[in-house]
Amino acid sequence: MIGYIINRIKSSIVVLFVVSVITFVVLMIIPGNPAQLILGTEATPEMVEDLHTAMGLNRPFYEQYFDWLFDFVKLDMGISYLYGESVTDLIFNALPVTLSVSVFSMVIATLMAFVFGIISAIKKDSLIDYFSRSIMQLGTAIPSFWIGMVFVVYLGLRMKLFPISGFVSPEDNFLEFIRSITLPSVVLAIGEIGLLLRIVRSSMLESLKQDYMDMARVKGLSTSKIYIKYALRGALIAPLTIIGMQFAKLVGGTVVVETVFALPGIGRLVLTAVEHRDIVLLQGLVMFITTFVIVITLAVDVIIMFINPRIKSFQRGEQ
């Protein structure tokens, strides 16, 4: 397994390299000159040219890229020219916000999806099955910004149950921290729950059809043991993969919820970097999110190998 992980790390480095080249090339091609953007609508072409030179942006592409790459290897992602702060600091300040919301929302989504998914598979075509399938449809269909607005107005403004915006660090006040991330997490969870519930339900149904389930029943095992030890274990692989993917997606994709709830997370930072053509910040963020996705995918694969020995032996054979 160690060999497999090492191979995956090697290929991840190649992926990161390719991503960094693509990001740099794309940023060079797309319209939007950072110097022009800083100077705004009062600038003359000469002023733009002067600032462009002063920012070092008219150097050859490869020179700018390799300078950046060597610094990155030394874990120096540069200074954001929007904020004037180190990109690493900006990312690590925004990360706890996004991680808190993403983790909390995945916990909510996973709990709901497993509870309703398992029950609706066991009680197929019952009332509870119809109910959970409706949740599935709603969760997928309703846009998260709309749910966010509804929550802000009813739970935040009218009922005053939760703060409307902002993030409180857990070190400052743990209860306020929980309150500040509850609404955004629930909104995000609603967006993720549909897909996850569907996967849990269908995996569980698939698992219940297997021959070993009949065998377990014949052996006279208790119902709960049959469902949890045999059916659920077999049905875990697909949902786990999806949870990993959803979690990785959330870390880079919480822009809407972070905007509605004024949360200073990674998603908003990406948006700001794009809007201001802050190339240094954007490059750092893209590399960070790519690394994060790779690590999560790897972690999920390792977990799945532990759960299902058949996959482990298959991957060993592959090597």
Phi, psi of 86 (to 5 degrees): -65, 135
Which of 111, 128, 215, 299 touches another protein (CB under 8 A)? 111
Q: How far is the CB of 271 from another protein (least distance, A)?
A: 9
Least CB distance to another protein at residue 31 (A): 4
Applying CB under 8 A, the site for another protein has a residue count of 63
Per rule CB under 8 A, is residue 140 in the interface with another protein? Answer: no
User: According to the binding rule CB under 8 A, does residue 164 interact with another protein?
Assistant: yes
The residue from 2, 29, 141, 175 that contacts another protein (CB under 8 A) is 175
Question: Please, are residues 82 and 278 in contact by the beta-carbon 8 Å criterion?
Answer: yes
- Dist CA 128 CA 117 (whole Å): 10
Contact 101, 185 (CB under 8 A): yes
Contact with another protein (CB under 8 A): which of 1, 13, 25, 54? 54
The pair of structure tokens assigned to 264 is 């200073």
What are the contacts of 310-316 at 24+ separation with CB within 8 A? 311/237, 312/1, 315/4, 316/1, 316/4
Q: Kindly write out the interface string for residues 180-199 of this chain, putting x where it contacts another protein by CB under 8 A and - elsewhere.
A: --x-----------------
Q: Is 172 in the site for another protein (CB under 8 A)?
A: no
Out of 268, 282, 287, 296, the only residue in the binding site for another protein (CB under 8 A) is 268
Encoding tokens for residue 45? Answer: 């072409």
> Is-contact 308 296, C-beta < 8 A?
no
Question: Should residue 8 be labelled a site residue for another protein when binding is judged by CB under 8 A?
Answer: no
Distance CA 120, CA 268 (A): 37
Which stretch, 68-76, 152-160, 199-207, 245-253, contacts another protein (CB under 8 A)?
A: 152-160
Query: Would you tell me the crossing angle of helices 174-208 and 127-141 to the nearest 10 degrees?
Result: 120
Contact between 272 and another protein (CB under 8 A)?
Answer: yes
Tokens of 129: 């099955």
Q: Residue 50: which residues within 8 A CB-CB, separation 6 or more?
A: none
CA distance 262 to 243: 25
Q: Is 50 in the site for another protein (CB under 8 A)?
A: yes
Point out which residues bind another protein (CB under 8 A).
30-33, 36-48, 50-51, 53-55, 82-85, 90, 93-94, 111, 115, 149, 152-153, 156-157, 160-167, 175, 178-179, 182, 224, 228, 259-262, 264-265, 268-269, 272, 274-277
